[in-house]
Structure 1
């Protein structure tokens, strides 16, 4: 890329950054806000033994759920897997390790990773053995807290409504979900976007993710969400 402000490329060009055993963070909530073109490229690449970080495991044939359903995931940190019965079966069979994390704490751990904060403290889940398993605690005053480590990834894949060629992003309503946080927490952040506009076209007040957090932009091949949810 000769122009330092030009981050636009294709999924095929970027697949070289992906490898077996890597840590991958993704935006999305039940598939909405997940990047379909990037996910398809990952599926086609055949990479496996992934460690995933994201809100959920999608549905068997929607969003990140497609990667999970093919048995490509070794471990996942997530808030729930209930919408993908294949994920539940993989966990039960011992083929996928699942770290459950309350949704708000998961988002805050990702935010901490993007901000360079090593961990957060929380008393949420102190009475839940699943949440506390293997975690450190500390006491401040008379209150005991869980030490929740920050989360980062080798690559974050996110989905946005619009971008300029520098990587400034805006999102579409609820599809925004965890995408801005994941954009901050990846060593490499790849944004799939519906529309790419010239520099200066986005008003500064509407930009949610500044381009400094985005390494590459991929034009989305699109998805019919009405059809997908039917």
Structure 2
């Protein structure tokens, strides 16, 4: 599913490359109805906002989204949520997005809640070709036993719950605990944000933006990356590459990201 950039894709006026696309709109234009999307970001940090905005400006919908959370009501994945374009979310945190909670509780949205570390490992395993793994996280809770509401009915009753998962123990050093089986996650597309990328797709993430972005990129069959700084292949020190270009199919030069602040906390003025 590796894509070829259109002939109109240009960098610095004259340089045309296989992976660099002219715009976010071009890069996401072929994402169809019902596609699954692994999306980077943690809160408002490292969100591929330009790609999500381009997707929201199109007509496709019915998406299944895999992401730590769903942005805020007016930023990131919250834009797709507000437009009614998401049918199912695998996430670890509903957070401060009141619309996310409202759609979940009213039965408009299926939600698979997953422990945060488990979610990250499910994405990593998907990218590494590992179909499943055992973890102690969630044993003895509804995560393993089942019963977490996945979908509510319009009257507020629970329509669908999560199924129970296999739990087992292992000999040796692991014999004193039980472990639950978790399946890996892959997605049709990955949308990620990086601080710097080169024309071959090698990416460098900045500080907290190196959260779910590399993992989402690995799990996507087609990975689309927006980068703040685009450089030629070879300009990034190989030792500084966080994600090799083999995982990245399309690159959009987004320029500096809007540093959206999810929650602003200030203290009251102190009188002299």
Name the counterpart of 1:183.
217
Contact 1:153–1:185 (Cα < 8 Å) also in 2? yes
Partner SS for 1:38: helix
Cα–Cα, structure 1 residues 227 and 89, in superposed 2: closer, same or farther, change >3 Å? Answer: closer
Q: CA distance change for structure 1 residues 45 and 13 in 2, over 3 Å: closer, same or farther?
A: same
Alignment of 1:75 with 2:88, yes or no, is yes
Alpha-carbon separation, structure 2, partners of 1:223 and 1:4: 24
Task: Give the superposition deviation at 1:63.
Answer: 1.5
What's the offset of the Cα at 1:5?
Answer: 5.8
Q: CA deviation at 1:80?
A: 0.8
Please, which of 159, 169, 185 is the counterpart of residue 151 of structure 1? 185
Closer, same or farther in 2 for the Cα pair 1:71/1:132, shift >3 Å?
A: farther
What is the CA distance between 1:32 and its match in structure 2?
A: 1.3
2 CA distance for matches of 1:74 and 1:85? 17
Maintained 8 Å contact 2:199/2:231: yes
Which deviates more from structure 2 when the two are superposed, residues 133-142 or residues 184-193?
Answer: 133-142
Give the number of equivalent residue pairs: 230
Residue 110 of structure 2 is aligned to residue 97 of structure 1: yes
Q: Report the more deviating stretch, 163-172 or 62-71.
A: 62-71
Do the aligned partners of 2:40 and 2:47 also contact (CA within 8 Å) in 1? yes
Do the aligned partners of residues 201 and 30 (structure 1) sit closer, same or farther apart at CA in structure 2, a change above 3 Å counting? same
Contact 1:196/1:219 (8 A) holds in 2: yes
Structure-2 change in CA distance of 1:174 and 1:140 (3 Å): same
Worse-matched range after superposition: 10-19 or 148-157: 10-19
Q: Which digits, 9 at most, give the CA deviation of each residue in 1:62-83, with x for residues without a partner?
A: 2112212322111110001122
Aligned to 1:41: 54
Q: Distance in 2 between matches of 1:179 and 1:151?
A: 14
From 128, 132, 142, the counterpart of 1:115: 128
Q: Distance in 2 between matches of 1:127 and 1:20?
A: 37
Q: Which has the higher helix share?
A: 1
5+ long unaligned stretches in structure 2: 8-14, 147-162, 265-272
Query: How far 1:154 moved relative to its partner?
Result: 0.1
Q: In the alignment, what sits opposite 1:198?
A: 232
Provide the C-alpha distance between the structure 1 equivalents of 2:192 and 2:183, rounded to a whole number of angstroms.
22
Residue 106 of structure 1 aligns to a residue in which SS? Answer: helix
| 1:13 CA displacement | 1.9
Please give the TM-score of this superposition, normalised by the length of structure 1.
0.93
Alignment match, 2:34? 21
Other structure's SS at 2:124 match? helix
CA distance in 2, matches of 1:158, 1:98: 21
Question: Would the aligned equivalents of 1:23 and 1:154 in 2 still touch at CA under 8 Å?
Answer: yes
The answer as to 2:204 corresponding to 1:170 is: yes
Match of 2:137 among 112, 124, 142: 124
- Corresponding residue for residue 30 of structure 1: 43
In 2 relative to 1, CA 26–82 (structure 1 residues): closer, same or farther, beyond 3 Å? Answer: same
Whole-Å separation in 2 of the counterparts to 1:228 and 1:105: 24
| Matched-pair contact (CA < 8 Å) for 1:57–1:83 | no
CA offset at residue 229 of structure 1? Answer: 5.4
